[in-house]
Amino acid sequence: MHGRPRKAPKPEDEAASSAKAQKLRALQSQFLSHHQNRTYSKEALDVSAKLLEINPESYTAWNYRKLAVQHNLAQSDSDPDSVKSILDAELRVVESALKQNFKSYGAWHHRKWVLSKGLSSIDHELRLLDRLQKIDSRNFHAWNYRRFVAALMNRSEEDELSYTTDMINTNFSNYSAWHNRSVLLPSLLERKVQGFFPKEEALSYEYELVHQAIFTDPDDQSGWFYYLWLLDQTLKTDAPLLVSSFPAYGSDIILSRDRRFDESPLHSFHSESGTFPLVLYFNEAVEGVSSATVMVESSFCTNNDLIWKPLSINNSNAARVWVAHVKFPDKELQQAYPMEVRLGHSQGIISSGGFDYNHHTQIAFKVCARSLETETNEEHDEKMISWKDEIFHILKTQSREPNPFISFGQLTIDADHEATTSEWREETIANEISLFRELLSEISCKIGKLTLARLLSAHDAILYQSSKKTIHSEEILGLYSDLEKLDPLHSRYYKDEHSLVLLQQVTSNWESLLRHSYHCIESTLSCLGNSVCLRLNNLSLSRMGSTENLLWVQMLDLSHNELRSIEGLEALQLLSCLNLSYNKLPSVTALGPLRLLKSLKVLNVSYNEIGSHSTDTTRYLCPSPLSHTEEVDWERNEIVTEVDNLSKYWEAFLIFKGLNLKQLDISGNAIASAQFKSFLVSFLPTLKWLDGALLL
């Protein structure tokens, strides 16, 4: 076991094992006969008890004893002495089984079942647990059972927390005690029990306790895991927050159906449907966003005209991103008209943790509609986008050009955040950074580097809320690069974290984004509204992040990266052109977020790994829109001509069928056969170019 070579058994051991097996077979034969005949006599129960003493994992035997207890209790006529005798016998059988294997699931479950009847004394249980936890203080079965017994005895959470403290002081490596502490502490903090309020004082004590464990033995993981949990408790806010929106606060949006309209390339939004999206981006998944909880006021749109929908790739009613589509004004607006979105004034928006959105938020911006007539007579002049470097020129903005990346911190939020909590949080994180820098100056510790990286990221997040700057990005990126080399087994995780920090660094301010923003000279394609492309190519990205800062993007180049997932891109509701070529997307399923991008017209997924893997594990590892939540009537679908192909490529059908793509590139993927291309063309009537070829 665990790499140890097997030792050849001694003759006497083989003989003992053979005798035990023979005895076990005889007991099993007798037991099964009693079970089949529903015999619940004392002799039959003795047989099952002997069987369980040898093999406590015989679930059938435990189930038999439950049936026997129910039968014998019914025959006892509720005589107290008889009932006590029956249940005490069960507890003795369990105790004997636990002596054989004190980590037996069946034995612990049976003991819970007996005690849950409420007819047995529980005074002995804590003494039993003390004996077993002296044998193995990290036995999670015993800790789980202790929580059950504590609830039956109405033991206070304060007493149980004190018990964990004693166990931890005895052995810092007691992971189960740390875990039990993380179960008890949130309840005490939430109820504001004396000694655990204010929250800042209670958490400060926890930091001191876990520091003793970490700095005494940095190689033991128990304290580290609790420390990471404690860090999360320090940073998290109970109530959900709105972190971004489109349109952004204070922005001016110019709407146009004319693809050649280019008065303000950074702010013009082109839409053939005559609608534009309102997008709300929260820091966590929420539900309840509706016309009753979000008030929209303008001269051309009423609150009841809007239908809010969650952008969830797993078809959930809760999502971090919500969208509603607003119709263009009926007439051309030569001046900008104000529009206002308000939320938090009424309850109903609730996080997955059950907390209400309670911040009074007002998002004010201006809207102007121009050139309402669509130019249909020039459609024949449209040409394909090549995505070559020569079609992109560095974006130059006029000094008078307004910034489309308005900091979301300028939202008018009635922020009743506790100033003392914010100050304590920043001071605590800063102190922890100093401590771990000192620790890492003395020893080399992988989990220490990871913790320092998380602390620095947390500190940057706190600073960003007030100053809109990040100061630790380079140090964090260096730590994750070191971890990739030190711990290659988990290199993909470190690579993902590196990507998230890099994207945050790139998108954290408009000056940084400008260095990646280009003017596309091939702007004759009707899907291009502002002809500005954000090029995040060749950055070695393996995971998307910071999409809350990219809600304004209509053209995005993510080519030549290492993306295996595009989860998060569904938030970019303005996105019309997307280049994902030369990445590592493993399957069609990985393109799931595209289903929610209804404005998408140009898509390049060439030279990925789609179709290269015999088994698509994406749907099993993360939420997927293809988890059989949508039923399709293959036989009645008129736009697909070959049912055999539909059965073969049903995932691609589910993703692409709702899109109005005009240009698609899929070459360089294993799936890109002539049959697959023909299949795509059969149900994409708007498609004009496929792999660079004009469709006739």
pLDDT, one tens digit per residue, over 120-163 is: 888 889 888 888 888 888 888 999 999 999 999 999 999 999 99
Within a 10 A sphere around the Cβ of 619, how many other Cβ atoms?
A: 17
C-alpha dist (Å) from residue 149 to 119, 124, 161 = 14, 10, 14
Q: Within 13 Å and on the Cβ side, how many CA atoms surround 212? A: 12
For the residues 566-595, what does the mean pLDDT come to? 95
Residue 31, domain member (yes or no): yes
Q: How far apart are CA 456 and CA 60, in angstroms?
A: 53
End-of-domain residue from the set 471, 503, 535 = 503
Pair (365, 498) in one structural domain: no
Pair (615, 672) in one structural domain: yes
Residue 582, domain member (yes or no): yes
Pair (437, 557) in one structural domain: no
pLDDT digits (tens, 9 = 90+) for 435-472: 999 999 998 889 999 999 999 999 998 888 777 778 99
Banded pLDDT at 401 (limits 50, 70, 90): very low
Whether residue 405 has pLDDT greater than 60: no
Q: How far apart are CA 498 and CA 454, in angstroms?
A: 11
CB 544 within 8 Å of CB 503: yes
Residue 388, domain member (yes or no): no
Pair (165, 17) in one structural domain: yes
Whether residue 621 has pLDDT greater than 60: no
Pair (445, 555) in one structural domain: no
- Tokens coding 53: 């003493």
pLDDT at residue 302, as a whole number: 80
End-of-domain residue from the set 324, 353, 376 = 376
Residues of the chain with pLDDT > 70, as a percent, come to 84
Give the DSSP letter string of 271-303.
Answer: -TTSEEEEEEEEEEEEE--STTTEEEEESS--G
Instruction: Give the chain's domain count.
Output: 4
More confident residue, 484 or 332: 484
Within a 10 A sphere around the Cβ of 503, how many other Cβ atoms?
A: 21
Pair (26, 64) in one structural domain: yes
pTM of the predicted protein model:
0.84
Whether residue 695 has pLDDT greater than 60: yes
pLDDT at residue 397, as a whole number: 62
C-alpha dist (Å) from residue 91 to 94, 101, 107, 566 = 5, 15, 10, 54
Residue 618, domain member (yes or no): yes
**Which residue from 408, 362, 410, 365 is spatially nearest to 252, judged by alpha carbons?**
365
| Least confident span in 58-72, 98-112, 436-450, 644-658 | 644-658
Helix axes 80-100, 59-75, angle to 10 degrees: 170
Pair (350, 430) in one structural domain: no
Q: How far apart are CA 223 and CA 212, in angstroms?
A: 9
- In sequence order, the β-bridge partners of residue 392 are 520
C-alpha dist (Å) from residue 354 to 25, 239, 349, 679 = 53, 9, 10, 45
Q: Is 385 left (phi over 0), alpha (psi -120 to 50) or beta?
A: beta
Whether residue 529 has pLDDT greater than 70: no
Handedness of CA 160, 166, 169, 173 (dihedral sign): negative
pLDDT at residue 382, as a whole number: 66
β-bridge pairing 252-256 and 294-298: unpaired
**Which residue from 151, 138, 222, 228 is spatially nearest to 187, judged by alpha carbons?**
151
Residue 104, domain member (yes or no): yes
Residue 392, domain member (yes or no): no
Whether residue 3 has pLDDT greater than 70: no
User: In the predicted model, what is the mean pLDDT of the chain?
Assistant: 85
- CATH number for the domain spanning 602: value is 3.80.10.10
Pair (436, 287) in one structural domain: no
C-alpha dist (Å) from residue 175 to 223, 508, 688, 691 = 7, 38, 60, 55
Pair (556, 669) in one structural domain: yes
More confident residue, 634 or 449: 449
- Tokens coding 37: 């005949």
C-alpha dist (Å) from residue 559 to 125, 201, 408, 661, 687 = 62, 49, 28, 19, 22
Within a 10 A sphere around the Cβ of 87, how many other Cβ atoms?
A: 19
Whether residue 259 has pLDDT greater than 80: no
Pair (255, 156) in one structural domain: no
pLDDT at residue 301, as a whole number: 82
- CATH number for the domain spanning 254: value is 2.60.40.1220
- The whole-angstrom distance between residue 23's C-alpha and the CA centroid of its chain comes to 51
Q: Give the domain extent around 589.
A: 515-694
pLDDT at residue 147, as a whole number: 93
Task: Detail the DSSP E strand segments found in 299-416.
Answer: 309-310, 319-327, 337-343, 350-351, 361-370, 392-394, 412-413
Q: How far apart are CA 420 and CA 476, in angstroms?
A: 27
More confident residue, 117 or 261: 117
Q: How far apart are CA 362 and CA 531, in angstroms?
A: 30
Banded pLDDT at 353 (limits 50, 70, 90): confident
Pair (665, 537) in one structural domain: yes
pLDDT at residue 530, as a whole number: 56
Within a 10 A sphere around the Cβ of 238, how many other Cβ atoms?
A: 11
Radius of gyration of the chain (CA): 32
| Least confident span in 5-14, 186-195, 231-240 | 5-14
SS3 for 571-625 is: HCCCCCEEECCCCCCCCCHHHHHHHHCCCCCEEECCCCCCCCCCCCCHHHHCCCC
CA angle 270, 323, 593 (to 5 degrees): 85
End-of-domain residue from the set 503, 532, 563 = 503
C-alpha dist (Å) from residue 681 to 184, 640, 645, 651 = 58, 9, 12, 15
pLDDT digits (tens, 9 = 90+) for 497-510: 999 999 999 998 88
Pair (351, 482) in one structural domain: no
Give the H or E element holding residue 673.
none
Residue 198, domain member (yes or no): no
Which residue type is seen at 217?
A: D
SS3 136: coil
Give the DSSP letter string of 59-102.
Answer: HHHHHHHHHHHHHHHHHTTT-HHHHHHHHHHHHHHHHHHHHH-T
Whether residue 581 has pLDDT greater than 50: yes
pLDDT digits (tens, 9 = 90+) for 303-337: 888 999 999 888 889 999 999 999 877 766 567 78
- CATH number for the domain spanning 43: value is 1.25.40.120
Residue 206, domain member (yes or no): no
